């Protein structure tokens, strides 16, 4: 009886330590946002948020810049989600259901492009975008973000379609349905959970993206939140409370959505990334 | 082998499909494929080819349309450079520690969460938070926590008597890389632990029970049963973490810009500052190619090893 107790206590202690480590930095973001100046720079740190300082969130939004950043991020993220899933569903379907010349090349390419760092591609894409007039536009960012997230989206959706019995499609075909109708009426509804997971991945890929946004956007009014927040680092003009309030509003949606889609996202990412 | 087999079976299936439905022709897969393929071609393949070309030229950021072909000059110059040797070493350390740290801590956390207890669902969800948080926000909060004057980390270290003199961890050639590594692993361990947790749950309970009944110790049971089941998952995670670590940019760039005096300069950071600070697109591309080739070798090598092991097992 006795050693069992000790084991259990140790396990609970371990879990609490892990949770503390996992949650603390975000907790600290909130505490910092909700601190008065005197608390912030006092000799002894205040470890709990001061709820009376809640106005900082409203101030941060009212100031206008932050709201514009978040709006731009939202446009880029929604655009990327729609485009990458729109392209990823037919690609995943082709890879799952057909055999054709060049299939192996496409599969290898999808794996290979996942090894390319954004920082490497930013130079040639810059000259490409200048030629097509896509610099300094949200459309350009939607296009490039979709291209970078498309491989993982397509591979996850291919895996999901692999899991649907072909018999379901056969019966629709016997009734004379075209391939596209089969895809949209039979497969798409059945893989809805995977589509939702890829939507989360694509959305937050674009929401978090920094390298392309900081290089391709010049007009301050078109900056997404990732660039706006990154500019806070090492800058001293903005009060740290405002900085943390904006960063928290930027972080919260990602955390909430990932919590919901966690299982599907993780399973999809490991399956898509390596098994191909 | 397996790919070939798959293609044969799906090939014969699409034979019957074609006979079954006159409207699906042999062009059908290409119609589904075309939009995505064009997209990947334009935004990934063409720029990559351009970048490969750049790596054999001398090209300035200020006048990028004028390139002079210099053959392998960039590569020989880069590999002859002492600073680049340091970059390679830093990259190597960064990747190895990231992989070992994230997989090791992920396994520890997964083992902790594997036994049932009240509130496990909550614990599991809360643990994923670091991975879900955007890299930009992580860089920001880490920089603030490591602030020399008011950062909570320094206050804590001072309180327990381990304070860094001056407190400037990110400005110290000695402590900057460990700080970046800690931040990176903090962000990665949720991913590895959730993946390993689902692998652990596929370990057959009757096998571990049988081992325990036979009088096997915990460690032995772990090695003989659990480890055998999760080994492929560990390998897969190691490859994934390697690729991700070789690509990681914004966390390091925003926290230290590769400094102080190059202490945190990985290949990707080096390539970016070569292109945008030194304005040398040619040598920047060469540095980038080194990273891509390393990734390729790791992935191809691991597949080779996995296949050899498979043959061995048969």
Over the stretch A133-159, which tens digit does the pLDDT of each residue have?
Answer: 999 999 999 999 999 999 989 988 998
- Give the closest residue to A30 by CA, choosing from B85, B215, B141, B21: B141
Q: What is the mean pLDDT of chain A?
A: 85
Phi, psi of A264 (to 5 degrees): -60, -40
CB proximity under 8 Å: A 36-55 to B: 40-41, 45
Share of chain A above pLDDT 70, in %: 94
Shortest CA gap B250–chain A (Å): 7
Distance CA B111, CA B107 (A): 6
Q: Where are the domains of chain A?
A: 54-275
Q: Give the CA-trace dihedral at B225, B227, B228, B230, to 10 degrees.
A: 120
d(CA B203, CA B292) in angstroms, rounded, equals: 36
Identify the H or E element spanning A67.
helix A65-97
Q: Is B123 in contact with A15 (Cβ distance < 8 A)?
A: yes
Count the Cβ atoms, other than its own, within 10 Å of residue A10. 11
Which structure tokens are listed for A19? Answer: 């949770």
Q: What are phi and psi of A175, to 5 degrees?
A: -75, 0
| B251 within 8 A of B139, measured Cβ to Cβ | yes
When mean pLDDT is compared over A14-23, B121-130, B145-154, B201-210, the highest value belongs to: A14-23
Q: Which of the four CATH numbers 1.10.3720.10, 1.10.10.410, 1.10.645.10, 3.30.310.10 does domain A54-275 have?
A: 1.10.3720.10
Please report residues of A whose CB lies closer than 8 A to that of B115: 11
pLDDT digits (tens, 9 = 90+) for B251-294: 999 999 887 888 999 999 999 998 888 888 888 999 999 999 99
- pTM, two decimals, is 0.87
Asked if pLDDT for residue B116 goes beyond 90, the answer is no
Q: Who contacts B92 (Cβ-Cβ below 8 Å, separation ≥6)?
A: none
Residue of B nearest to A200 (CA): B132
Decide if pLDDT at A217 tops 60. Answer: yes
A129 contacts: CB under 8 Å, gap ≥ 6: A135, A140, A144, A216
**Band (A38; pLDDT cuts 50, 70, 90):** confident
pLDDT band for position A25 (cuts 50, 70, 90): very high
A208 to B47: CB separation less than 8 angstroms, yes or no: no
Cβ atoms within 10 Å, residue B104: 14
Interface of B with A in 181-200 (CB under 8 A): 186, 190-191, 194-195, 198
CA pair distance A118, A44, nearest whole angstrom: 42
Q: Which residues pair with B73 in a beta bridge?
A: none
Most confident of A50-54, A148-152, A236-240: A148-152
Q: How many residues does chain A have?
A: 276
For residue B200, what pLDDT is reported?
87
CB-nearest to B281 from A114, A123, A248 is A123
Contact status of B227 with chain A (Cβ, < 8 Å): no
Q: Using only C-alpha atoms, what is the Rg of chain B?
A: 25
* B292 shares contact with chain A (CB less than 8 Å): yes
Lowest mean pLDDT among A75-84, A264-273, B152-161, B179-188: A264-273
**For A243, nearest residue in chain B (alpha carbons):** B140
For A241, name the nearest residue in chain B, comparing CA atoms only: B144
Query: Domains of chain B, with CATH numbers?
Result: 82-313 (1.10.3720.10)
Q: Do A211 and B240 touch (CB under 8 A)?
A: no
Which of A109, A232, A262 is facing B194, going by the closest CB pair?
A: A262
């Amino acid at each position: 009886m006795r050693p069992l107790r000790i084991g259990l206590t140790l396990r609970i202690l371990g879990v609490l330590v892990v949770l503390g480590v996992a949650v603390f930095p975000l907790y600290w973001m909130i505490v910092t946002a909700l601190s008065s100046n005197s608390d912030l720079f006092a000799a002894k740190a205040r470890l709990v948020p001061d709820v009376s300082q809640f106005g900082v969130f409203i101030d941060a939004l009212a100031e206008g810049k932050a709201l514009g950043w978040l709006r731009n991020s939202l446009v880029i993220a929604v655009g990327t989600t729609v485009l990458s899933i729109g392209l990823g569903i037919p690609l995943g379907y082709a890879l799952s259901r057909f055999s054709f010349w060049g299939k192996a090349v496409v599969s290898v390419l999808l794996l290979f492009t996942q090894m390319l760092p954004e920082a490497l591609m930013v130079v040639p894409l810059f000259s490409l975008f200048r030629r097509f007039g896509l610099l300094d536009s949200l459309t350009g960012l939607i296009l490039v973000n979709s291209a970078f997230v498309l491989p993982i989206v397509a591979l996850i959706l291919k895996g999901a379609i692999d899991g649907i019995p072909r018999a379901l499609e056969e019966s629709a075909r016997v009734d004379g349905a075209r391939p596209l109708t089969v895809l949209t009426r039979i497969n798409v509804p059945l893989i809805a959970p995977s589509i939702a997971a890829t939507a989360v991945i694509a959305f937050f890929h674009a929401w978090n993206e920094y390298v392309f946004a900081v290089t391709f956007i010049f007009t301050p009014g078109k900056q997404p939140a990732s660039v706006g927040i990154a500019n806070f680092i090492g800058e001293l003009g903005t009060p740290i409370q405002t900085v943390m309030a904006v960063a928290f509003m930027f972080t919260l949606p990602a955390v909430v959505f990932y919590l919901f889609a966690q299982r599907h996202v993780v399973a999809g990412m490991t399956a898509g990334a390596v098994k191909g | 082998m397996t790919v070939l087999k798959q293609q044969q079976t799906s090939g014969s299936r699409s034979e019957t499909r074609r006979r079954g439905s006159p409207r699906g022709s042999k062009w059908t897969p290409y119609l589904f494929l075309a939009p995505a393929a064009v997209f990947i071609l334009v935004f990934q393949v063409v720029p990559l080819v351009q970048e490969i070309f750049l790596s054999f030229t001398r090209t300035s950021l200020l006048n990028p349309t004028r390139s002079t072909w210099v053959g392998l000059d960039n590569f020989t110059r880069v590999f002859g450079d002492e600073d680049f040797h340091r970059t390679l070493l830093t990259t190597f350390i960064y990747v190895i520690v990231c992989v070992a740290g994230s997989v090791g801590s992920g396994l520890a956390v997964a083992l902790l969460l594997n036994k049932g207890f009240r509130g496990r669902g909550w614990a599991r969800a809360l643990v994923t938070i670091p991975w879900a948080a955007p890299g930009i926000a992580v860089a920001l909060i880490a920089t603030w926590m490591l602030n020399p004057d008011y950062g909570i980390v320094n206050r804590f270290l001072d309180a327990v008597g381990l304070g860094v003199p001056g407190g400037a961890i990110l400005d110290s050639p000695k402590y900057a890389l460990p700080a970046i590594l800690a931040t990176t692993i903090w962000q990665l361990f949720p991913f590895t632990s959730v993946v390993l947790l689902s692998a652990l749950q596929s370990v057959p309970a009757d096998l571990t029970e049988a081992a325990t009944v036979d009088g096997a110790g915990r460690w032995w049971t772990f090695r003989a049963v659990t480890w055998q089941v999760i080994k492929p998952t560990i390998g897969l995670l190691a490859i994934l973490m390697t690729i991700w670590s070789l690509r990681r940019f914004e966390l390091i760039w925003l926290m230290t810009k590769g400094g102080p005096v190059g202490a945190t300069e990985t290949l990707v950071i080096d390539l970016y500052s070569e292109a945008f600070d030194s304005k040398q697109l040619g040598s920047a591309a060469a540095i980038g190619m080194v990273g891509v080739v390393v990734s390729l070798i790791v992935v191809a090598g691991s597949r080779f090893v996995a296949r050899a092991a498979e043959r061995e097992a048969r």
